[in-house]
Amino acid sequence: MKDQLSLLQTLSVETDSKIVMLVLDGIGGIPHPDTGLTELETAATPNLDALAAISICGMSDPVMPGITPGSAPGHLGLFGYDPLEYYIGRGVLEALGIDFELRDGDVAARGNFCTLDENGIIVDRRAGRISTGKSTALAEQLCGIDVEGVEVIVKAVKDHRIIVVFRGEGLTDKITDSDPQRVGFRPQTVERLAVDGSKMAEAANQFIEKALHVLKNHHPANGLVLRGFSQKPDLPGFSEIYKLKACAIASYPMYRGLAKVVGMDIIRTGQTVQDEIQSLVENYRKYNYFFVHYKPTDATGEDGKFERKVAMIEELDRVIPQIQALGPDVLVVTGDHSTPAVMKGHSWHSVPVMICGAFCRPDNVNSFNERACLYGGLGHLTASQIMPVAMANAMKLEKYGA
């Protein structure tokens, strides 16, 4: 993959062309048992379908066939990085997403306030998606926890999500998660994955034990699970590779963190898709690559709310004409992974993708959904192959070889 990135850096040229990459998080689905249709196939999407009719379409595997990705590897692939080569822990992404000043040596973890039953079993991994205000108040209480030889900083991110940053000498991220990422299980003891992970594992377990003592009488957030322990990574810069002035427009912090790791500028935006589109319009002249992130399709899928996910797709469909009106040279619409509502979580199922541009050579696909895009001209590709095709369509890649 380093070869792909170095080849793209060699071939990419500065131009005025503009690329918009619209990522519908968790967009892919599987058929509802009652109708036999996926969320995308159920939704009324006249604008996405009209766009598909003038695009080249296909299906994208975020990492490789059969692999269920988290949002981080799913997005790294969309940015053209091989998620198998470049792994970034969720803790770093969430911390950068809220502009936390991570220092060299810090280990950041993503935390969920969760609900435990009387036996300490996780019954709700998100504590009912408690409000950011409640998380902030609880995070402040956890900040006072003393861990021997380690400073611990706790910050609320959004809703049930927090970061816990461990700062001290000799800490590494070579440890396991406490979050089993499913209900019906107890939070796991953090184990070291290498000898130099010992101090961090001990600090994590000490913190979690004391945190549970602080939270035990709270409801629904009487528990805490941590995952994605990680330290600041070093990746080749997105703008240097593609010679693009790139920005990210994302209402959810973690995606801003991921964009920051690859060097994109972060555009402050609001909480609604209309806010994000407004931010796109206001910054359209300043940049020539726009990562626009839409989260509701993932959250509703994870909550198992099939009809709500359909409604979120239809909400997104209504803003497509506003993006087209800006006249991007290339418009990419896809997702970072599938989150089928009937499965209440991410899945390995490939994701529809369409790339629209003056030179895209449209195919016979006239609907944007899983079954239709299977027959598209892009065929079946991995997510990391989308950026090269988008760059080519933007006339930003020189010819390779004599």
Ligand X SMILES: O=C(O)[C@@H](CO)OP(=O)(O)O
Which residues fall within 8 angstroms of residue 331, CB to CB, at 6 or more apart? 19, 20, 22, 51, 55, 323, 324, 355, 356, 357
Is the Cβ of residue 349 or residue 396 nearer to ligand X in the bound state?
349
Residue 21 CA, distance from chain mean position: 13
Q: Which 8-state DSSP code applies to residue 190?
A: P
Is the Cβ of residue 137 or residue 183 nearer to ligand X in the bound state?
183
**Single-letter amino acid code for the residue at 217:** N
By CB under 6 A, how many residues form the interface with ligand X? 6
Choose, by CB under 6 A, the member of 17, 45, 60, 71 that binds ligand X: 71
Using CB under 6 A as the binding rule, the residues of this chain from 192 to 251 that contact ligand X are: none
Q: Smallest distance, Å, CB 98 to ligand X?
A: 13
Q: Smallest distance, Å, CB 71 to ligand X?
A: 5
Is the Cβ of residue 225 or residue 372 nearer to ligand X in the bound state?
225
Are 273 and 314 in contact by the 8 Å Cβ rule? The answer is no
Sheet containing strand 246-249, edge to edge, reads 265-266, 246-249, 289-294, 19-24, 330-334, 351-357, 56-61, 379-382
Is the Cβ of residue 18 or residue 161 nearer to ligand X in the bound state?
161
Beta bridge partners of 19: 289, 330
Q: Smallest distance, Å, CB 149 to ligand X?
A: 29
Q: Smallest distance, Å, CB 266 to ligand X?
A: 18
The Cα 173–Cα 231 span in angstroms is: 6
Is the Cβ of residue 257 or residue 328 nearer to ligand X in the bound state?
257
Q: Smallest distance, Å, CB 277 to ligand X?
A: 21
Which residues fall within 8 angstroms of residue 61, CB to CB, at 6 or more apart? 67, 350, 351, 380, 381, 382, 383
Task: Give the per-residue contact string, 291-320, with ligand X (x = CB under 6 A; - = no).
Answer: -----------x------------------
Choose, by CB under 6 A, the member of 32, 126, 260, 293 that binds ligand X: 126
> Could you say whether residue 161 binds ligand X (CB under 6 A)?
yes
Q: Smallest distance, Å, CB 178 to ligand X?
A: 12
Q: Smallest distance, Å, CB 207 to ligand X?
A: 18
Structure tokens at 189: 């003891």
The Cα 20–Cα 322 span in angstroms is: 12
Is the Cβ of residue 112 or residue 178 nearer to ligand X in the bound state?
112
Using CB under 6 A as the binding rule, the residues of this chain from 90 to 119 that contact ligand X are: 112
Is the Cβ of residue 71 or residue 393 nearer to ligand X in the bound state?
71
How far is the CA of 234 from the CAs of 65, 272, 388, in angstroms? Answer: 27, 32, 22
Residues that bind ligand X (CB under 6 A): 71, 112, 125-126, 161, 302
